[in-house]
Every structure is written in structure tokens, then in C-alpha cells.
Structure 1
Amino acid sequence: MTPKFDKVHRRFKLNGNSYNHDALKEVAYSYIKEGEPFERVIGNFVADWLDHNDFIRTNTSGSTGKPKTIEVKKQAMVNSAIATGDYFNISPGDKALLCLPLESIAGKMMLVRAMMLGLELDIVSPSKFPSFDNYKTYDFSAMIPTQLYNSIERVSNIKTIIVGGAPVPIHLLKRIQNIEATVYETFGMTETVSHIAVRKLNHLKDGEQSNVFKLLPNIKISQDDRGCLVINAPRLNSETIVTNDVVNIIGKSEFEWLGRYDNVINSGGVKLYPETIEAKLQPEINQRFLVASKTDKELGEKLIMVLEGERFDIPETVFQGLDKYEKPKEMLFIPKFVETVSGKVQREKTLDLL
């Protein structure tokens, strides 16, 4: 039986202390009045969660259009929490770590999962270098790639880590292969109340593919005429969600992400996906780079590569794994890329620097 949003699981603990519905209100007010800045954000969210409304307001990331403030049903967040719990076999009494800011849907959902699933949740300041108990065993946590990279030597005590907010770079992917924690990359957005699919990044068994996302329960997908992902998840959103993510659907419950429709390059009539080309080149290039385009009289759009840092010569062997039309025709350099707070490169603002 799915719990209602106005209930708090009796096994729920926050920083080692048990709280029921009324006691949690007192914690929220205490955080708002006396807490550190990140605790005040938590207090405001908890107060909103426990009020009489059946929704909360939160900001979107721009996955389905321009960023905006939307209303998300609290029961949809509960349904998402249950789906995650079922997928990862999370049980009441399991220990979880929250090191994400609650301004994001990912941070909010960690707290909702704890309240609904009965987890023992420890909250720490949302830093790029999260400070948590290295000797306490945690069953579940969520991080952005930067946090995981900066904590790579200290996550052996976390059993399952989900990573989102930005793509996992190849250098981090290589480093997590030998750690004890099982790491998953998530796919989702605010409109789908956090992730609707995950892909396993390490500890792969024979036959498992790291580039394929697997859907969580009660999610159906299709494609529009652009080849973009269409999500039907009535337990999370009453509306069908049309994304700008170009995908290759594999069966009913899996898909491969190719890139953003906004970034598709039409070069001489050939459609090129920058993110797909970047994934092929990542093992060969040690610094950050982007694949983009410039206006060209002959081709319409000419494929270019933009690299971060000082200019250097790139050997031809780097491009051996690319298809005929995927090889960049010009190399440009920028001293420093523009980033979001989660460490994700902002393509348009970075390219504006050119």
C-alpha cells in the first residue's frame, strides 16, 4: 500500500533522532530561525511539505524548455520515492546520506525518500567536498559527479550511490570501477520528480551495458517525430512529458541517450550529435572539451572542437574511433569553461566566449 504524503514513517530518523509529524514541524521552525543557510532551506522545505497544500513549488532545470517555477504534487514525490525504493531494494531502517542542496529536486527527493521509506538520514552541508562520517556504513546516497570525484577515497562505506546533475566524465568513470560502492547514473528532470531511469556504471556483470538506461517501475516511453524521448508517467505527472533528449529506444524498458536536440548539428545534410561524439573522444583526451559548430557556406554548419586550457597539437590517432563525418574540422581553445553550480559545463555561455 502506497503511503500518503501527510504521513511520516515511524522508522524515520534525522541525524540520529526519531521524529513524528508534529515533532518534525518543530525541527523545521528551529532550522528556519537558528540554522545555517543550508539548514534554513531544509526547514522551509519541511515546513512546506507538512502544510495543508498538496503540492510544493520548485524550479525546473530547463530539460523540457526554459527554466521556470512549477508546482509538483507531493503524492507524485511519494510515488517516486517508492519506485526508487523498490528498484534499489531500500528498506525501513536503512541508513542514507544527504549531501545535496535542497534547492534541487534531487536534494528534496532524498529527504522525501527518508520520510516515506523510513530511512535513517544524516544531513551534511552541501559542499563540493562533502564532509561525512567515513566510518559509518550508509546504504544509499545521491551525489553530483564533482562530489563523487572529491570523495572517491572515502566512499567505501556507502553501498549504493546515484549520480546526477551532470554527465559522468570518463576520468571519473574509470576511477569508480574499483571502488566497493555500486554507482548508477540517473536520468530525469524536475517534471518527472527526479529520475525515471538509471544506468549502472561499475561492477557490471557479463552482458550488462553501461551506456543503456533502464526504466524504473510504472514508466512508459516513446519518441516524437524528432526522435526525442516522450515520457508517460501518470504516477509522477498527469501530463505526457516531451523532452529535448534524442534517444535510441531498446525494447520497452531501456534506452540509449544520444544527445540534446538543441545541440544537433546539420553538417552538409548529415545530423551529428555532439554528446555522442564527445563520448567517443573522452577516453582519448584528458582535458575538458566540447563539440559544436560554426556557420559554413558550403556545409551550412561546420563541426568544431572547443578545448579548455592552453593550445596544443592533437594527434590524428585521437580521431580514429569516429565515423567519417564526426571528425572536427577546426580546433579552438578557451582558457576556462563556464559551469553550473553542479559542475556541468554550460555550452551556450562557454561558446559565447569565442
Structure 2
Amino acid sequence: MQDVTTIPNWLAKRAFMTPDRVAIETGDEVVTFKELHEHALHVAQQISYYGITQGDTVAVLMSNSLSMVYVIHSLKYIGAKTVLLNTRLKAHEVAYQLKDSQTNLLICDDDLQRVGKESVSEKTLSMVTASELFKSQRKEIDVIEEFSLADADTIMYTSGTTGQPKGVIQTYGNHWWSAMGSALNLGIHEKDCWLIAVPLFHISGLSILMRSIFYGMKVMLHHQFNPKEVNEAIKEKEVTIVSVVTTMLTKMLDELAEQQYPTTFRCMLVGGGPAPLSVLKQCVVKQIPVYQTYGMTETASQVVTLAPEYSLSKLGSAGKALFPCDIRIINEQGDVLQANQSGEIIVKGPNVTAGYLNNEQKTRATIKDGWLHTGDIGYLDEQGFLYVLDRRSDLIISGGENIYPAEIENVLRSHPSVADAGVTGVSDDKWGQVPYGFVTLQSNVSKEEMMSYCESRLAKYKVPKKLFIVKELPRNASNKLLRRNLLSLVSEKSEN
């Protein structure tokens, strides 16, 4: 009997099945699946030269490029786990993730080598730039011919309520089932082309790369998001699907102006938080097929997506749970709620993470009886369509990036002049939300000094948009900070 717990090396299998089909297209290059396989094997041998073997961990600090794609696939040929690092992080943030994941080798883009060198300066691991790697010698390897669906493939760090990021383990099975769930909902068309303008170090970008292999589908890879270039690709390059967050969609609508997309474009997949109804209604007028989706790093991308036939009748809904998945709404006592009752969203399915790397306590607290407790708030209507009311109670989603206030508060409190700190999200037309900081002081400090302090310790998107000095922060009887009440200090606050 065939072992159903394994799957053939998926790129090698795809290259065998459809070798001449286009896998990736950029502005300058076109790569077939056969060529992608050959590049991945070549790079795997070069990485092996640095002593990496099956079971090791390699971190990747790179921006969207063919080079990054080659590295991602090559590590699977070796059987190494891949830690995908956000290129916007500061060196000390990278250093924490390298240490926590017990990384053996860091591969970084040439223009990120300063951050790379600073992050490994006090570590025992090695670092190599992409240009150095691709010029290095090769060492023959035994290519991994089968993947165990239960084995860890990629690790992505996501912020936590304690301020320290957690390493989300994504297995080979998680990626496979995520792709299958999406295909069963959106379908697979012969001429599909999925454009990647979101980062490959995010699950939104990586999941498209995985689907490309499974579906035998061409992806168009953009180095970074540019609304004009994305719109041109849809109109002139026969792109059929694009994944975006609300801020991206808004910019695309502005750039599109009075023009329309061709009928070949069949799906604008919107994630990263609920899209405002005003934006969705603009898309209706422009006849843009928008499908909202709900997912997270822990679910290897989508877990709920609106089906095409409900794009208008259920405007504003994230849809129903994908075919392999299930969803419930529970109250604080864990009781399952009825239709139209809001509570915590919990999800279950083969695309849900097995847990957090080296963090059994957080894993047990988040995954109970196979159900992932998201901390997000929403409700199901009578037909089972999910409406997301709020992302995690404290989470700030800014331009699709997840920001936990506690992480910023820890930095603010570490300043010698700050006695206490609180951070909350504020609605913003451009970014969806931005963080606002509130501090109490024990000695005088200028706004410029505080902002400079934050900028040197936080990724740019995490730096408070505004900083206010207040007399005291709202806390309950247990001395717990009430972040939801911070903006009520508006009459007392003074901008420093």
C-alpha cells in the first residue's frame, strides 16, 4: 500500500510532468519548471558546500527575486528547514530569530549584508551573501526524493502579546493542504497566472510560490509592489489572479482611474484584514472580482475565502471555511455560539500549524484539541459565512503587516526617561491602521530623541506614528493596561 504520509519532491515532480511550461516570469526573465528544477539543484549543491545537511536550519534574509526563489526550493532538496526573515527588521530583531530558531546558516541579499553581519556578530552561525553563494563551489548531495507531510518545512516569526515573536512551524503538509483548499474554492484554469507583489517572506507570497508548483501554474514575480506595474501586468500580461492587502488595492484603484481590467482577470484576493465596504463597492462599480479571505501565518495562508458566486451577495464577508477546514465561534467559556453571535474565531484543518518552535507553552495555549484559537473576533451568519469584526484584540494591522503593541511598549519602557507606556492602533486612510504611543515620564525627554530611540530599535512600520505624554495610563483593578481606553485620553494628552 502506498504511504499517504509522504509526497514526492514537488518541484522535481513538476519538472518531470511539465518541463517546458513557464514557472516564473519577471520583467527580465522567463524560467520553465525544468530550468527552475536545475537552478534549485545547483544552488542546493552550493549551500551544501557550507556544511548544510538534512535537518539543519537555514535563514533567508532576501527580497523578492529569482535568486530567493532558487534558494527556497534548493533547501527542500537538501531537507533543511527554512526560516524566512522579514527584510524590514532591525539587526537585533533578526538576531533574536536566528538564535531562537537555532539557525546554522544565514543567506542574505548583498544590500542586506550590513544587517546580516550585525545580527550574526555574536553568534556561532555563518553568513553568506547571495552573490557569494552563487559563485561558490558545489558539493554533491543526495536529493530528498520524498517529503514527509508531517516534517517542518518553513518557519515564519509572528509577533506575540508578550512582545517576543514566535516561530510558526509550517509543515510540508500545511503547504500542500493550503494549496488544495484554495484550488477547491477558486478552481484552477489552464491559463492562470498568479502575480506575486507581496513579500515571499510572508505566507501570502510564499503560498503562491507553492501553488505554482502544485498547479503547474505560471507566477509573475515583482520585486516590490508598484500599483502601475501591477495594473499593467493585469491588462497586458494576462495575469488572472493577484493577492493584495487593502492598502495595495486602494493604490491600484487610484492608479486605474477610469480604466477597467480585461475579462481574463478573474480574482483579486484581498487579505490582511477586512476591506472597508467603500473600497469593495468601488470594485463592484469597476467590475473587479474581489474575494475577501481570512487567514494567518498559523494557517499557511487562507483558511476562509469567499466563493466566486457570493462575491456580491455576501459583500464584506470573508466567506466560508475552505473544503479541508472547519470554523467555529466560541465565547470566553469555550461554548460554541449560534449564528450572528460574535465571539472568538477558532479554526481547524490540515493546513493549521503543529505549533510554535521551541514554545510548548504557547502551543498548548493556542491549539486545543486540534483547534487553533485565533484571538480574532467575528461571527457566522445563518448560512455559515464568516464576518471578521476585529483582528486580535490588541493587534494592529498596518499595510498588511502585523504589529503587536506590547513589542513597541517594551521598547518605549526601556528608555530611561519613560516610566510607563501604552500603544494602540488608530484608523488610517493609507495604511488601514497605524500605532499611536502613550507614555508617562520620570524625566524630561524630547519627541525627537524618543522617536530616534524607537527608529533605532524597531522596524519602520512599527515606529509610533504619533507619541503622546499623559499623566497616567488606564489600568484595571488587576493593573492590566486597558489599551482600548488609550484614545479616551484625547482631552488629557499632549503631543510631545
Same fold (TM over 0.5): yes
**Is the 1:222–1:230 Cα contact (8 Å) retained in structure 2?**
yes
When residues 224 and 63 of structure 1 are mapped into structure 2, their CA distance, relative to the original with a 3 A threshold, is: farther
SS at match of 1:80: helix
**Is the 1:228–1:261 Cα contact (8 Å) retained in structure 2?**
no
Whether 1:57 and 2:154 are equivalent positions in the alignment is yes
> Which of 1 and 2 has greater Rg?
2
Given residue 38 of structure 1, which amino acid in structure 2 is its aligned partner?
Answer: N
SS at match of 1:100: coil
Question: How far did residue 102 of structure 1 move?
Answer: 0.5
- Distance in 2 separating the partners of 1:307 and 1:120: 37
| Matching of residues 133-152 of structure 1 within 5 Å | 133=233, 134-152=235-253
Question: How far did residue 170 of structure 1 move?
Answer: 4.2
**Is the 2:173–2:350 Cα contact (8 Å) retained in structure 1?**
no
When residues 105 and 307 of structure 1 are mapped into structure 2, their CA distance, relative to the original with a 3 A threshold, is: closer
Given residue 233 of structure 1, which amino acid in structure 2 is its aligned partner?
Answer: G
Question: How far did residue 145 of structure 1 move?
Answer: 2.0
- Distance in 1 separating the partners of 2:305 and 2:166: 25
Whether 1:22 and 2:37 are equivalent positions in the alignment is yes
- Distance in 2 separating the partners of 1:151 and 1:122: 17
Whether 1:232 and 2:348 are equivalent positions in the alignment is yes
1:90 aligned to which of 188, 209, 217: 188
Question: How far did residue 82 of structure 1 move?
Answer: 1.3
**Is the 2:275–2:316 Cα contact (8 Å) retained in structure 1?**
no
Question: How far did residue 92 of structure 1 move?
Answer: 4.7
1:185 aligned to which of 292, 298, 301: 292
Question: How far did residue 69 of structure 1 move?
Answer: 1.9
- Distance in 1 separating the partners of 2:282 and 2:43: 38
Whether 1:38 and 2:64 are equivalent positions in the alignment is yes
Whether 1:255 and 2:386 are equivalent positions in the alignment is yes
- Distance in 2 separating the partners of 1:232 and 1:95: 29
- Distance in 2 separating the partners of 1:90 and 1:52: 29
When residues 27 and 111 of structure 1 are mapped into structure 2, their CA distance, relative to the original with a 3 A threshold, is: farther
When residues 127 and 59 of structure 1 are mapped into structure 2, their CA distance, relative to the original with a 3 A threshold, is: same
| Matching of residues 221-300 of structure 1 within 5 Å | 221-226=327-332, 227-238=343-354, 239-250=370-381, 253-260=384-391, 262-263=393-394
- Distance in 2 separating the partners of 1:307 and 1:109: 28
Question: How far did residue 220 of structure 1 move?
Answer: 1.3
1:6 aligns to what?
A: 9
1:208 aligned to which of 314, 322, 341: 314
Provide TM-score, normalisation by structure 2: 0.48
Given residue 269 of structure 2, which amino acid in structure 1 is its aligned partner?
Answer: I
**Is the 1:5–1:75 Cα contact (8 Å) retained in structure 2?**
no
Question: How far did residue 210 of structure 1 move?
Answer: 2.9
Whether 1:156 and 2:261 are equivalent positions in the alignment is yes
What percentage of aligned pairs have identical amino acids? 17
When residues 187 and 2 of structure 1 are mapped into structure 2, their CA distance, relative to the original with a 3 A threshold, is: farther
- Distance in 2 separating the partners of 1:236 and 1:252: 24
Bigger helix share: 2
- Distance in 2 separating the partners of 1:87 and 1:57: 24
Provide TM-score, normalisation by structure 1: 0.65
Indicate the larger mover: 76-85 or 193-202: 193-202
Measured against aligned partners, the alpha-carbon deviations of 1:176-207 in whole angstroms (never above 9, x if no partner) come to 122343111211101111011124799845x4
Question: How far did residue 166 of structure 1 move?
Answer: 3.8
1:107 aligns to what?
A: 205
SS at match of 1:70: strand
When residues 261 and 77 of structure 1 are mapped into structure 2, their CA distance, relative to the original with a 3 A threshold, is: closer
Q: CA RMSD in A?
A: 4.1
Given residue 126 of structure 1, which amino acid in structure 2 is its aligned partner?
Answer: Q
**Is the 2:291–2:318 Cα contact (8 Å) retained in structure 1?**
no
- Distance in 1 separating the partners of 2:374 and 2:195: 30
**Is the 1:149–1:172 Cα contact (8 Å) retained in structure 2?**
yes
Given residue 68 of structure 2, which amino acid in structure 1 is its aligned partner?
Answer: V
When residues 185 and 61 of structure 1 are mapped into structure 2, their CA distance, relative to the original with a 3 A threshold, is: farther
- Distance in 1 separating the partners of 2:345 and 2:283: 29
2:276 aligns to what?
A: 169
